[in-house]
Structure 1
Amino acid sequence: MQRRVTGLTAAVAALSMTALLAGCGGDSGDSGDVTLKLVAADYGDSSTNSSKKYWAALTKKFEAENPNIKVDVSVYSWTDVDRKVKEMVKDGNAPDLAQIGAYADYAAQDKLYSADDLLSIPTQADFLAPLSKAGEVNRVQYGMPFAASTRLLFYNEKLFKSAGIKPPQSWSELQSAAQKLKSRGVKIPFALPLGPEEAQAETMQWLLSGGGGYTDNVDSYAIDSKQNISTFEWLKDELVGKGLTGPTAPAELDRAEAFAAFTRGDVGMLNGHPTLMQMSAKKGLKYGMVPMPGINGKAQSTMGVADWMMAFKQNGNRKEIGDFLDFVYSKKNVLDFSREYDLLPVTTSASQEMAGDKKDAAKLGEFLKELPTSQLYPVGKVSWAQVSVQVKKYIGKTVGPNGNPKAILGQIESKAAAEENAQ
């Protein structure tokens, strides 16, 4: 028999229905549907290859297989996306998912699901080990890698051939090659972009090649370590001091300017990522790529970079988020994204398939080889965002005419320790 609902009973029923709808994303009506809100970064450089197209195709397939789950995707430029998510969270309107540049601050505020909460065991186990580790805060993974890249040393094949130079494998060979290029009138034998745009990346590449890094073996900041000081003293005295880095002071040279100069044929060597391949190809410049030289031979590890996917707990759609992420991280979808934007797959299965594909291997094979042993920024530290700012602001001064690597690295280390202790 159907009971008629009146008075207080009706009010309770209404409140119960409101709570149910809120738990399902607030737009499910009587159907039980859930709508997930995803905010993502745009990896395209024009409307023709915007990430909007990737997400539209992916969500269409997912929704066809999961008719009770809808996914609403908003794509923003890298200039705006992190700020947009921050504003949404501050306003109490966090998205279910965000694909942006950093996750640690949200994890520290207990706003995120862990990967254990969301992903199936096969999906989580498929992430490449360095990327999984970089996604951890206090040994719990909150950041799920979405896109990855490594760095290699690019060199101008024409300039090297005309000077009879072989690609360098050590610092001394790099310096010798730069000297020969300078003697032949090359404007910028080695481009060293330590300007504010992305100085933290160039810095980390050199720290690793010198046997150091931003942190030590127990994940504490070690910016003024003996190895790091020696690395920047060598850069100051043996590259910059000998006029091998071109007319622009490294502290004033940004990565974008260095890349553009390389594609014009003005640069002999520089550290670069896959984007530089596309830029060089468009200009018809022939280039080669080798692993970053170290003190006495190939560096033991190179720098890896990752962008992150994270899931907010606010709306409570844990199961639906997990179902969607298992789909996102399927081998086919990871490969589709990586191939579209010349980025490296974040999963073992997709990496192995790409490495075994002749076309993929010809384009990204050298980068793929470096990724499994790469080291990433200490992004699991909430303090890293501010430490990165300090590196961008001061690191270029270490190699200037009056630079003091020991003092400046010590200054950055002190501020890093203060930031870490403040968390």
Structure 2
Amino acid sequence: MRKTSRRTFLALAGTAALSACGSNTVQSGNPPPSTAYSAGVTRPKPKPVDLSQWYHPYPESGVQEAVTRYAAAYQKSKVAVQWNPDDYETKLAAALQAGPVPDVFEGQVTVDRVRQNLLVPLDDIIGSVKGDFTAAALAAQIVDGKTYGIPQALDTQVLFYRKSFLQEAGVQPPQTLDELVDVARRLSKDGVKGLFAGNDAGAAALAGPLLWAAGLDYVKDGKSVGFDDPRAATAFTKLRDLNGSLLLGTSTDWADPIPFIDGLTAMQWTWLWNLPKIQDTMEDDFGILAFPRLDAAGAPSVPVSGLSAMVHSKSLNPNAAKDFVKWLWLERTDFQQEFATKFGFHLPARLSVLDKIAPANDAARLVKETGRAAGPLWTPMANTVLVEAVGRIVRDGADPVAETKAAIEAVKAELGRLSA
């Protein structure tokens, strides 16, 4: 049976598989009667309702025990944690449509789920603390002006660079795409390549950051293609200019830090959660950067993604489910900090909690200043179209303008489907 890793959910720039979650046999009860007084007689205290909460199988040891402990600490409802070790996405897709119903589940907010009325809006519980989330993380939860998810923790991708390699080459960390091209070329020597961003030459990992570098986006105004602009093709061409300086054909892909650790590349674009492994090997001989801007009109960026807690609209106890989500992911900041930092290197979703994490200072700054997310309107189909177009430009030498225009038309059709 196919196991689901965190990486399955967190694809390029926060774009995740839109099918998720699993099945559960927990039965949800009817809402309990409220305590009331009649003829001077006090009715029995209402019994806690039963809720089911589903998780995908985190690879880090200790997560399952932690989330079970969190659920046990909640007093207002009996919360049964369902751990789904196999094919979480397929199980969730089936359960959301046909049951058995998960009251609370993790995943990512998607337009399709909202359009199918599968999610409960959570604006009433997130309320005044909305400002305690990064703009990118919060925007990924909102469809048609309503908030459907509460971020649990954040993951981001950054550009790791080897300080000693740059010092020996007499170059500074790149701040623009032209500088990235030049630095990668000068670092490519003695069996070392300047940059590793994937065996596909960076098409999948860097399509989004290239758009942001040009001051563009996947979608704009919540309805139209965000890269219908000549600057998109210009940015994609810069990635093609890296040919000859890119590490290709490795046994692992960009999400694994081994090429960087083994000294095969002087720079690598990869997940921040690899920081402890890199630090154990290199100590302080590395730094992290946001992806460089194209020019003064563009912007540096780090993609921000993560899983969120959602409430199923078919829950028999939606208000109790919302109360639990509010308690765990908005009120219990101690649990939120532990969940994000104790079981692998992730970032707390709340800014007030993030500020307490000393080892994350540089990463926290990058997320606050340059964090970006694809958002619910960016579907896997749209992402595939763009990545394939960038791949043809970078690897095959295809015309950047023609490929970008074709991708724009295909994404327009997909956005039209979502708005129909």
User: Structure 1 length normalisation: TM-score?
Assistant: 0.79
1:390 pairs with 2:374: no
Q: Does 1:371 align with 2:349?
A: no
Q: For the Cα contact (< 8 Å) 1:302–1:373, is it kept in 2?
A: no
CA 1:379 to 1:290, structure 2 compared with 1: closer, same or farther past 3 Å?
Answer: closer
For residues 227-376 of structure 1, the aligned pairs below 5 Å read 227-236=231-240, 238-240=241-243, 243-248=244-249, 254-256=253-255, 259-284=257-282, 286-296=285-295, 299-329=299-329, 330=331, 331-340=333-342, 341-352=344-355, 354=356, 360-361=357-358, 363-376=359-372
Higher helix share: 1
Q: Conserved in 1, the CA contact under 8 Å of 2:54 and 2:83?
A: yes
Q: What does the per-residue CA deviation read over 1:282-334, in whole Å, with 9 as the maximum and x for residues that have no partner?
A: 44463211232212479344322232221012123122112211221222121
Residues 1:399 and 2:411 are matched in the alignment: no
Structure 1 pair 191–337 and aligned structure 2 pair: CA distance change class (3 A): same
Which stretch has the larger CA shift, 219-228 or 305-314?
A: 219-228
SS state at 2:159 partner: strand
| 2:75 is equivalent to residue 74 of structure 1 | no
Distance 1:210 1:124 in 2: 28
Work out whether residues 199 and 247 of structure 2, in 8 Å CA contact, stay in contact via their aligned partners in 1.
Answer: no
Aligned partner of 1:144 in structure 2 is: 150
Alignment partner, residue 19 of structure 2: none
Q: Output one character per residue of 1:312-369: Cα deviation in whole Å (capped at 9) or x when no partner.
A: 12123122112211221222121111212321221232123x2xxxxx33x2212211
Give the corresponding residue for 1:11: none
Q: Distance in 2 between matches of 1:35 and 1:416?
A: 43
The alpha-carbon distance between structure 1 residues 152 and 228, as it changes in their structure 2 partners (threshold 3 A), is same
- CA drift at 1:55: 0.3
- Listed as ranges, the matches of 1:190-209 within 5 Å are 190-193=195-198, 195=200, 199-209=203-213
Q: Distance in 1 between matches of 2:176 and 2:390?
A: 23
Give the direction of change, closer, same or farther, for the CA distance of 1:145–1:120 in structure 2 (3 Å limit). Answer: closer
Q: Is the 8 A contact 1:194 1:392 kept in 2?
A: no
Is 1:421 the counterpart of 2:419 in the alignment? no
Cα distance in 2 for partners of 1:218, 1:319 equals 29
Q: Is the 8 A contact 1:390 1:412 kept in 2?
A: yes
Name the larger-Rg structure: 1
The residue number in structure 2 matching 1:83 is 90
Q: CA deviation at 1:99?
A: 0.6
| Identity among equivalent pairs (%) | 19
Q: Which amino acid aligns with 1:416?
A: V
Aligned equivalents of 2:191 and 2:220: distance in 1?
A: 38
Letter in 1 for 2:413: A
AA matched with 1:287: F
| d(CA) in 2 for partners of 1:212, 1:179 | 26
| CA distance in structure 1 between the aligned counterparts of 2:335 and 2:28, rounded to whole angstroms | 31
Matched residues, number: 375
Q: 1:215 aligned to 2:213?
A: no
Partner of 2:152: helix, strand, or coil? strand
TM-score normalised per structure 2: 0.80
1:179 counterpart SS class = helix
Deviations, residues 115-166 of structure 1 (Å, cap 9, x unaligned): 125x163455533333222211111111222221233221022322332332
Question: Are the aligned partners of 2:309 and 2:325 in contact in 1 as well (CA < 8 Å)?
Answer: no
Cα RMSD after superposing both structures:
2.9
Q: CA deviation at 1:54?
A: 1.8
Deviation of 1:36 (Å): 1.0
Deviation of 1:93 (Å): 2.1
Q: Given that residues 274 and 345 in structure 2 are in contact (C-alpha distance below 8 angstroms), is that contact kept between their aligned partners in structure 1? A: no
Q: SS of the residue aligned with 2:217?
A: coil
1:35 maps to 50
- The equivalent residue for 1:14 is none
State the secondary structure of the residue aligned to 1:239.
coil
Alignment check: 8 A CA contact 2:28 2:52 kept: no
Q: In the superposition, relative to structure 1, how do residues 177 and 336 fare at CA in structure 2: closer, same or farther (>3 Å)?
A: same
**Which consecutive unaligned segments of at least 5 residues does structure 2 have?**
1-26, 33-44
